[in-house]
Amino acid sequence: MVRNPAVAGQFYPASPAVLEKEVNSYVKEAKKENALGIISPHAGYIYSGKVAGSIYSRVNIPRDVIIIGPNHTGLGQPEAIMGSGAWHMPGGDIEINSELSGAIVEGSKYLRDDPLAHLREHSLEVQVPFLQHFRKDLRIAPIAMMSMDYSVCLDIGHAIAKAIKGFKEPVLIVASSDMTHYESDISAREKDKKAIDRIVALDPEGLLKTVRDFGITMCGVIPATIMLIACKELGAKEAKLVDYATSGETSGDYEHVVGYAGMIVK
């Protein structure tokens, strides 16, 4: 199966040349690091492209990337991977790594191979042009999540770590998430710092609890939690914030912002 773009021309340009020019405007010269996982935002590039560019500019992108994002559409299974086929993107078709995807499914009680869950979901798709900018031979294993249970996060995080250990090649885990939604800039920054502090502490269970206890509308908290669980099992020792911004810096509306964080786990 070939998945067509759901948000080309909306969240990012549909023209390959215009898209490459826009992505290039957000990336920067930076000393690159090897990473186990990252957190990158998934809003329209006009709002979150700067933060996404900052994080992708800082990490070495391997050929194989697992992208975990929230399922905003409600389509398909609550824990869904696309296990084979390709994604048709403006910058060229991207192969699904069926070997890596199959190993993740095999190691999980919950994940199902379900392309329907990915059909219209933007949170994973918007990561791909940045990844393609650095890796033209990119292969992905895309996972869309609706579940909010920590036990499910543990299961899938362990399955991802086990699959990566058995794969023998470098793999990057990308957790796609925006932060606080539609609060004042001051409130968003205060709340988002609480979540960011738990990520820096490599505390996946604490992250999920903090987001729930303080009503932080971090839409990708489950992908971030899964990423942290997997990275810790793979030996993660450090997490750090690379960049943070809110939509108010672009829109000028500081009363109703969305927060964006770019983070590295290594």
Is the model's pLDDT at 7 over the cut of 90?
A: yes
Is the model's pLDDT at 144 over the cut of 90?
A: yes
Note the pLDDT of residue 147.
87
Note the pLDDT of residue 210.
98
Query: How many of the other CB atoms lie within 10 Å of CB of 182?
Result: 12
**Taking residues 71-97, what's their average pLDDT?**
97
**Taking residues 9-16, what's their average pLDDT?**
97
Is the model's pLDDT at 168 over the cut of 90?
A: no
- The CA R_g of the chain, rounded to the nearest whole Å, is 17
Is the model's pLDDT at 19 over the cut of 90?
A: yes
Note the pLDDT of residue 121.
97
231, 200 Cβ separation under 8 angstroms? no
Note the pLDDT of residue 24.
97
% of residues, the chain, pLDDT over 70 = 100
Note the pLDDT of residue 93.
97
Burial of 24 (0-12, 13-18, 19+ CB in 10 A): exposed
Is the model's pLDDT at 67 over the cut of 90?
A: yes
Q: How far, CA to CA in Å, does 10 sit from each of 148, 153, 247?
A: 28, 31, 16
Query: Which pair of structure tokens corresponds to residue 30?
Result: 């930076």
- Structural domains of the chain ordered from first start: 2-265 (3.40.830.10)
Query: Which pair of structure tokens corresponds to residue 151?
Result: 């036990």
Confidence class of residue 229 from pLDDT cuts 50, 70 and 90? very high
